[in-house]
């Protein structure tokens, strides 16, 4: 596990710049943390680094959005309003997971469906200071020591 302070937005941008080049189709990042802790902000920067020029905004009301104009397809899920896990299966979750890079906000709501191998990011904001804890999957471990 690695803890990184995100004192400014630039720190979050720098983190996305570090992580994005490591990603390939099939990689899953789960983004945990309270409302406003920076999950969507981070996702936007990952998208930018993957070369996606479209505006990436919060998919809360549609559960997910997909972007196909970057180096690799990006799927951005926000499960905050997920009613049941079946809903995700109907959206084609498993096809998504294998055909692109998938970032998932509020992953706790579908824990049983998500692959064991994922890079877990836990965002924190105590009202003053921001930081993230990163739990890499075995494949990416060496980049987060």
Give the integer Cα–Cα distance in Å for 109 and 82: 7
- Cβ burial 85-113 (10 Å sphere, 16+ → b, else e): eeebeebebeebbebbbbbbbbbebbeee
Q: Which does 12 bind (CB under 5 to 8 A by kind): Mg ion, ligand ATP, none?
A: ligand ATP
Q: Which is nearer to ligand ATP, 37 or 118 (CB)?
A: 37
Smallest gap from residue 78 Cβ to ligand ATP (A): 6
Binding site for ligand ATP (CB under 6 A): 6, 8-9, 11-12, 33, 35-41, 58, 105, 130
Work out whether 40 is an interface residue with Mg ion (CB under 5 A): yes
Give the integer Cα–Cα distance in Å for 57 and 43: 9
Beta strands in 1-145 (DSSP E): 2-5, 28-32, 64-67, 74-78, 101-105, 119-125, 130-135
Q: Which of 39, 76, 120, 130 binds Mg ion (CB under 5 A)?
A: 39
Q: Which does 142 bind (CB under 5 to 8 A by kind): Mg ion, ligand ATP, none?
A: none
Smallest gap from residue 99 Cβ to ligand ATP (A): 24
> What distance, in Å, lies between the first and last C-alpha atoms of the chain?
7
Helix (H, G, I), strand (E, B) or coil at 22: helix
**According to CB under 5 A, which residues from 69 to 108 bind Mg ion?**
105
Smallest gap from residue 107 Cβ to Mg ion (A): 12
Please report, as ranges, the residues that interact with Mg ion according to CB under 5 A. 39-40, 58, 105
């Amino acid at each position: 596990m690695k803890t990184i302070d995100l004192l400014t937005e630039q720190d979050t941008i720098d983190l996305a710049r570090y992580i994005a080049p490591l990603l390939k189709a099939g990689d899953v990042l789960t983004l945990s943390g309270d409302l406003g802790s920076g999950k969507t902000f981070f996702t936007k920067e990952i998208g930018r680094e993957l070369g996606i020029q479209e505006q990436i905004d919060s998919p809360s009301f549609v559960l997910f959005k997909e972007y196909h104009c970057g180096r690799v397809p990006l799927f951005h899920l926000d499960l905050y309003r997920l009613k049941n896990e079946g809903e995700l299966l109907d959206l084609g979750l498993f096809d998504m997971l294998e055909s692109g890079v998938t970032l998932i906000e509020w992953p706790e709501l579908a824990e049983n469906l998500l692959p064991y191998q994922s890079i877990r990011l836990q965002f924190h904001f105590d009202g003053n200071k921001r930081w993230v804890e990163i739990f890499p999957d075995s494949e990416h471990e060496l980049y987060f020591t």
